[in-house]
Amino acid sequence: METIRAQWDGLLAAEPSDWSHLDLELRLDDEERTEEVVVLLAPLNPWRRDDDYRSGILQFRAARTTGYGAAASLVGARVSLLDDRGIGGRLKVLRSIDAVRIVHTQGPR
């Protein structure tokens, strides 16, 4: 099976060069490892999909340059930790936002 890091790299390669934000879902092969994975992915601010803490389904957001979400390099580094510990799963993009232009709404230009 493909590592989670390889899946992440593949998802990034499939995105347009101007992607801004990605909403992602990680479905673990072993839902009993959910708590361990939450700790490893803590810098990505993961949340669970429903009220069952050990559902094995986590979501998080990545940002390319600005805005809310973990940097792509941080996502890659953290999912590599899962691979190092033999944690498997399937990573997919739930929503992709691209071609975003940041508008200055406060302060001097």
pTM for this predicted structure: 0.85
CA distance 107 to 88: 46
CATH class of this structure's domain 4-98: alpha beta
**Stretch 32-43: mean pLDDT, rounded?**
94
pLDDT, tens digit (0-9, with 9 covering 90-100), for 69-90: 999 999 999 999 999 999 999 9
Measured at the alpha carbon of residue 24, what is the angle toward residues 106 and 88, in degrees to the nearest 5?
145
Q: Locate the domains of the chain by residue range.
A: 4-98
Q: Where are the alpha helices (DSSP H) in the chain?
A: 4-14, 34-40, 72-84
User: What is the bridge-based pairing of β-strands 57-63 and 70-71?
Assistant: parallel
